[in-house]
Structure 1
Amino acid sequence: MVNFKEDESLNTLNHSCAHMMAQAVKHLYPNAKFWVGPVVEEGFYYDMDLGDTMLTDEDVAAIEKEMKKVAKSGCKIYRREISKAEALEMFKDDPYKIDLINNMDEDTQTISCYDQGDFTDLCRGPHVDNVKLCRYFKLIKHSGAYWKGDAENQVLNRVYGVCFPTQEQLDEHLALLEEAKERDHRKIGKDMQLFMADDLIGRGLPMYLPNGYTIWTELENYIRNKERKLGYLHVMTPCVGTVQLYQTSGHWDHYKENMFPAMEVEGENFVLRPMNCPHHMRIFANRPHSYKELPIRIAEIAHDFRFESSGTLKGIERGRHFCQNDSHIFCTQDQIKSEVKSVCDLIFSTYEDFGITDYRCVLSLRDPADTKKYHQDDEMWNTAEQALRETLTEIGIEFTEEIGEAAFYGPKLDVNVKPAIGNEITLSTCQLDFCLPAKFDLTYTDADSNKQTPVVIHRAILGSLDRFMAYILEETKGNLPLWLAPTQVKVLPVKNDDDDLNAYSQKLVDALADADVRVEFDTRSEKLGYKMREAQIQKVPYLAVLGKNEEAEGTVSYRLHGEQGTTTVKFDEFVELIVNEIKTKGRK
């Protein structure tokens, strides 16, 4: 998907189109007043005060029609400079523009504005030469937006749009937007009844419905079993900790703005935890350790809370509550290479299981100039960054380096995946930490009976289960592999009032359930076609449709999701087919 903000030519074109939209709005709403109309990643928008009018879809269609008239007029766009005093006089009836002017730098003496026909607007520019160049546009959506993002202020109309140099490029982009809508995990989640949100519970706090929680637990069991085989020790720790805990770790100084406010109880201050490393550090410190025990791999599917701004919240992809597939490996410096290699092997074997092939590895380093974000210890950083860089090189991991993306306590390997729609996201991470073990005074006894400080490797394979689920839903459009689907088989008798047929259908349901297959028996008195369409919306992988012929011959006729054809096999063969596909996760 194109980033309008980063593409210089598209940026200029879309900003010009935002002005053209404001001109069209002024034609339809002569008393309209305008706040700002910036270019953003997904196109442009303009915030407008239309008095008591909140735009409807029909109103936006009318604005679009008027914009086409303006574009057809072919009026040229001219830049001119005026004094601050002239600008204040020109926009004296527009409190939003007056606010912009008054908040400009005190040294600003001249202000640029742009004229196009009967419309003038303040702007730094640049703009295209003629409104005709903005004729390939589309208004995408509209909403209300508080002036300056402050809930105490006036609600303005915000209208979003996109503009391209050609109709072909516009059509291609609109097709991608439609594809994105179909892949949006929030839409899929609603159709499949996976999760919900409730303002009374709180924004950014999704709740998993039975179908969604089934997927969630399958993901949990999947990664937990892989970790057990590699010697991980699973723990459970509380969702709160004292402020003192996070002061010790450094999170209070470096991460406080992303944490929920402290709660005072009996004279002690607690916070909802944003991450799990401090808890795991205290578990390691609970008893003495010998070098012979290392590495110790502590793992947890942990509930965490971060105060994300409301504008960034997005279904289960980004919420204020999420569950991390987290682990902390306590090891010696000599074990760094083998442990990082083991983590990378686990990441890539997991990706293979889920068919993830489009990803890249990034070595995320600190920005030495940022003294606020990162723990200040140049020697520690140099040691940690070089150790991770050398380790990745030695084990043959291809990576690029990015400055300023490290955790506050150490460098990390981020594995970024490229979704079918949208920008890449980080799913997995492996972080090298020489900082927190020292902060918590962690030690182990070496072969010479001396105390040494362990190195800690922070790692997450699925990242958060919530974001991973959102990613998988969007990649598959909800057509999950059989082993992960909430309902794996739905049994539909052709006639609900046939006792013999229902008995045969129940026999199949029982056989599948005994084999631990998630099966649903739909005995509702709805028409078969309706029930089949509903199952398609719910994306059930297998529909077993049973009639008198199947009952008489001891067979099962089934249809795969998204297909029209029906296959008929013997009863036992069908059960075996389902069981084997679940067991092998669909691999041949």
Structure 2
Amino acid sequence: MPDLSVVRVHADAREERTVTTGTKAWELFADDPEVIAARVTRDGESALRDLAHELADGDVVESVAIDSADGRDILRHSTAHVMAQAVQDLFPEAKLGIGPPVVDGFYYDFDVETPFVPEDLEKIETRMRKIVKEGQRFSRRVTTDADALSELAHEPYKVELIGLKGSGRSDDAAEGAAVEVGAGELTIYDNVRRGGDVAWSDLCRGPHLPTTKRIPAFKLMRSAAAYWRGDEKNKQLQRIYGTAWESKEALEAHLHRLEEAERRDHRKLGRDLDLFSFPDEIGSGLPVFHPKGGVIKRVMEDYVRQRHIEEGFEYVGTPHIAKEGLFYTSGHLPYYGEGMFPALDVDGMDYRLKAMNCPMHNLIFRSRQRSYRELPLRLFEFGSVYRHEKSGVVHGLTRVRGFAQDDSHSYVTPEQAPGEIQHLLDFCLGLFRDFGLDDFYLELSTRDDSKPDKFIGSDEDWEMATAVLAKVATDSGLELVPDPGGAAYYGPKISVQARDAIGRTWQMSTIQYDFNQPSADRFGLEYVAADGSRQQPVMIHSAKFGSIERFVGVLVEHYAGAFPPWLAPVQVQAIPIAERHEDYLWDVAKRMRAQGLRVEVDDSSDRMQKKIRNAQLQKVPFMMIAGDDDVEKGAVSFRYRDGRQDNGVPVEEAVERVRAAIASREQV
């Protein structure tokens, strides 16, 4: 048998190896116990493989460590298999759905007669630990559709997935189905005990860990109802969520992050701080802002409106509904129709709630002849839009059905496009820094060439637009992450991903290059060039916050409700020691309000210490406490949010401290 030539890639080093026929991937990395899989590139095609994968001549074999992104996905998917095995050991009647890895964890769906309860999860987790301790081997075998249908005839959901694959519609299956059936050959993974008998099997593309003993740390988190394949018309299954990590320390750190995230949950803080609510009478995903939340929203809007004006944008306004034909012209109904609410009958004509502002901005551009001298023409508004989100994804302020976008559209010549994109990116990053977010990376969303029906425009236009965005993103010096297939139907985009105070990532602004809506087939936008010819502009979409509502939710969690003074709904809480001191503090509050400061006086019957505690719970940045000595001296005791206190501070100095803190836009 001839020897094979392969390339080993490990720890950023490449080396050519000569190995014998039949060599497995694990043999290349036997010196590193952290390697749990391999990425094998053959004839230009790259794929993740089990360590038991047999190598071929010319393979480039790259190690996959358990603490890498791919490694964690494999660890979590393997743990999902162990969980499913444990469930069927304990609940033999359970039918299997799908069980993919997800961000920071995994899940598996089951069809069971009775929903799982917390005690069930404890039993399942105990059984999982036994399976892990047994060191069962994950063994891959190739099968045919017919054999798989026969073997899994007792699993109706697996049978359905095999049918989807056979029909060429596997992409129609829900998230995670590709993990089950994938593309090409069909495979089943067996969990094999040391004696060689098969303990459990599942339809799966893989790859997996070598054995269950390679699962260092896991925990089951909760169960919930979930529709099969994410379709509300299908049967409701029971989904168990879990998490798995490369070490016990990493698991503990993750659980700590979850505790901190729960403490910062904007839905709870919004209720506790009286900022906003979600009345059932209005409808799911349609929040209302209370007076204190309204302060935050107004301050944000006032600030970003002024910043847009400073950056050369002109403020416009457009209606909430429009004739349906407008959204056919823009392409939104054919390509984004599921995200729009159903038509409204107005005088016998179909109207739609707008889900985006760009079609109406195009009409403003087209309202009169434009000259190249006017470009860039920058239009901006706080446009209220409505998205028909599924009920299962609506979540507080961060995923709503009605929201305001700080939406802008720049109309530029093709030559101006790179500079305008750079201008918009700098503008976005500057805004986020003003609001206390300063840890970013960029994501470049491009089209998926395998799904041409989901995108419009020529290959040349897409290549040019993508190249422009990629260069601006690269020149920014920020980390750039590819997002293939994530583009809008009309063009590629850059999105700014910001990390909050506890390291979570939030998608913020997007900058999208659009060569389609201005085209003659759509809105027919033109400008008169310097030579007198009529040319088509490039349209650049940009939403800085994306959604005002969502950004408020992000800020609540980023600051854990303790907003910096310039954003705080109440900047100063005045607290009289006794009732006789109230008039004095009302006078001080009046003087501060005259300077634009947001001040409240607690004239309730509570004792002073209770009033201080209430102000702390409301996360007010400053307190001004006054007693007899303060009234006599024209002073206050000035107390900070962290508990520090200065006594006998003259009122004018106290006012100046508040003004200085607001002007600095810093947290205190």
Correspondence for 2:292: 211
Is 40-49 or 515-524 further displaced after alignment? 40-49
Report the CA distance shift for 1:191/1:252 in structure 2 as closer, same or farther (over 3 A): same
Asked if structure 1 preserves the Cα contact closer than 8 Å seen for 2:191 and 2:198, the reply is no
Alpha carbons 2:387, 2:401 under 8 Å: kept? yes
Q: Secondary structure, in 3 states, of the residue corresponding to 1:437?
A: coil
Once the two structures are superposed, the pairs formed by residues 326-405 of structure 1 within 5 Å of their partners are 326-333=407-414, 335-336=416-417, 338-367=419-448, 370-385=451-466, 400=480, 402=482, 403-405=484-486
Q: CA deviation at 1:224?
A: 0.6
Aligned pair partner of 1:436 in 493, 500, 517: 517
* Aligned amino acid, residue 644 of structure 2: G
| Paired residue type of 1:229 | E
Post-superposition shift, 1:587?
9.2
| 1-structure distance, mates of 2:128, 2:471 | 57
Q: CA deviation at 1:325?
A: 0.9
1:559 match: 639
Give 5+ residue unaligned stretches, structure 1: none
- Against the structure 1 CA distance between its residues 75 and 351, is the aligned structure 2 distance closer, same or farther, given a 3 Å change threshold? closer
Percent same amino acid at aligned positions? 37
Aligned to 1:507: 587
Q: Check 1:453–1:475 CA distance in 2 against 1; reply closer, same or farther (3 A cut).
A: same
Structure 1 Cα separation of the partners of residues 79 and 418 of structure 2: 54
- Give the direction of change, closer, same or farther, for the CA distance of 1:110–1:404 in structure 2 (3 Å limit): closer
| Deviation digits for residues 60-86 of structure 1 (CA, Å, limit 9, x no counterpart) | 3444345445555x3634648799899
Deviations 1:533-554 (CA, angstroms, capped at 9, x unpaired): 3333322111223333323332
CA–CA distance in structure 2, aligned partners of residues 90 and 412 of structure 1: 45
What is the CA–CA distance in structure 2 between the aligned matches of 1:359 and 1:129, rounded to whole Å?
36
Match of 1:519 among 579, 583, 599: 599
Tell me whether 520-529 or 361-370 shows the greater mean CA deviation.
361-370
Query: Offset at 1:304?
Result: 1.2
Cα distance, 1:225 vs. partner?
A: 0.8
The DSSP-based 3-state class of the residue aligned with 2:512 is strand
**CA 1:178–1:572 in 2, change beyond 3 Å: closer, same or farther?**
same
Structure 2 unmatched ranges of 5 or more: 1-64, 168-183
Identify which of 100, 103, 111 aligns with 1:38. 100
Of residues 191, 194, 205, the one that matches 1:114 is: 191
1:534 to 598, 602, 614: 614
Residue 488 of structure 1: how far off its partner (Å): 1.3
**1:302, CA displacement in angstroms?**
0.7
- TM-score, length basis structure 2: 0.76
Q: CA RMSD in A?
A: 3.7
Shift of 1:335: 4.2
The 3 A distance-change label for structure 1 pair 422 and 207 is farther
2:623 paired residue number: 543
Instruction: Say which SS state the counterpart of residue 275 (structure 1) adopts.
Output: coil
Return the offset for 1:18: 3.2
- Which residue pairs with 2:29 in the alignment? none
Q: CA 1:278 to 1:573, structure 2 compared with 1: closer, same or farther past 3 Å?
A: same
Q: Deviations over 1:219-265 (max 9, x none)?
A: 11001111222332211101112221122222223222322222232
- Out of 60, 64, 69, the residue aligned to residue 125 of structure 2 is 64
The equivalent residue for 2:42 is none
Deviations 1:532-578 (Å, cap 9, x if unpaired)?
A: 333333221112233333233322223222x1221231112111221
Distance (Å, rounded) in 1 between the aligned partners of 2:249 and 2:323: 58
In 2, distance between residues paired with 1:547 and 1:419?
40
Which is helix-richer, 1 or 2? 1
Amino acid at match of 2:588: L
Structure 2 counterpart of 1:485: 568
- 2:380 pairs with 1:299: yes
Q: 1:91–1:494: structure 2 CA closer, same or farther, 3 Å change rule?
A: farther
Deviation at 1:152, TM superposition (A): 5.3
* AA in 1 matched with 2:573: K
Aligned length: 579
In structure 1, the residue corresponding to 2:121 is in which secondary structure? helix
- Does the Cα contact within 8 Å between 1:332 and 1:455 map onto a contact in 2? yes
Indicate yes or no: 2:545 matched with 1:462: yes
2:113 to 51, 70, 76: 51
1: CA distance, partners of 2:376 / 2:149: 68
1:415 aligns with 2:496: yes
> CA deviation digits over 1:350-386, x for unaligned, max 9?
2332343322345544455542232223444455455
The residue type paired with residue 602 of structure 2 is D
**C-alpha distance in 2, partners of 1:121/1:325?**
51
Cα 1:25–1:539 shift into 2, 3 Å: same
Instruction: Name the residue aligned to 1:76.
Output: 136
In structure 1, distance between residues paired with 2:76 and 2:186: 28
Please state how far the C-alpha of 1:19 moved relative to its aligned partner. Answer: 4.0
Q: Does 1:190 align with 2:278?
A: no
Q: Which amino acid aligns with 1:60?
A: L
- TM-score, scaled to structure 1: 0.85
State how far apart, in whole Å, the 1-side matches of 2:249 and 2:438 are. 30
CA shift for structure 1 position 391: 6.8
Distance 2:585 2:308 in 1: 39
The match for 1:274 among 342, 355, 379 is 355
**Structure 1 residue 509 displacement after superposition:** 2.1
Q: Which whole-Å deviations, capped at 9, do the CAs of 1:118-156 have from their partners, x for residues lacking one? A: 953434355556555446321212222234444455543
Q: Is the 8 A contact 1:365 1:401 kept in 2?
A: no
**Cα distance in 2 for residues equivalent to 1:313 and 1:432:** 28
Contact 1:5–1:43 at 8 Å: present in 2 too? no
Residue-by-residue CA offset, 1:182-241 (whole Å, 9 max, x unaligned): 333333323323222244433322222222222111111001111222332211101112
The worse-fitting range, judged by mean Cα deviation, of 278-287 and 413-422 is 413-422
CA drift at 1:307: 2.4
CA distance in 2 between counterparts of 1:4 and 1:195 reads 42
What secondary structure does 1:326 align onto?
strand
CA displacement, residues 31-79 of structure 1 (integer Å, 9 cap, x when unaligned): 5444333332231223334433x3333443444345445555x363464
Post-superposition offset of 1:340: 3.8
Cα drift, residue 470 of structure 1: 2.6
Q: Say whether the 8 Å CA contact 2:158–2:203 is kept in structure 1.
A: no
CA displacement at 1:483 relative to structure 2: 0.8
Contact kept, 8 Å, 2:501 with 2:559, in 1: the verdict is no
C-alpha distance in 1 between matches for 2:77 and 2:418? 50
Asked if the contact 1:6–1:41 (Cα under 8 Å) also holds between the matched residues in 2, the reply is: no
CA–CA distance in 1 between the matches of 2:67 and 2:109?
18
Confirm or deny: 8 A CA contact 1:274 1:305 kept in the other structure: yes
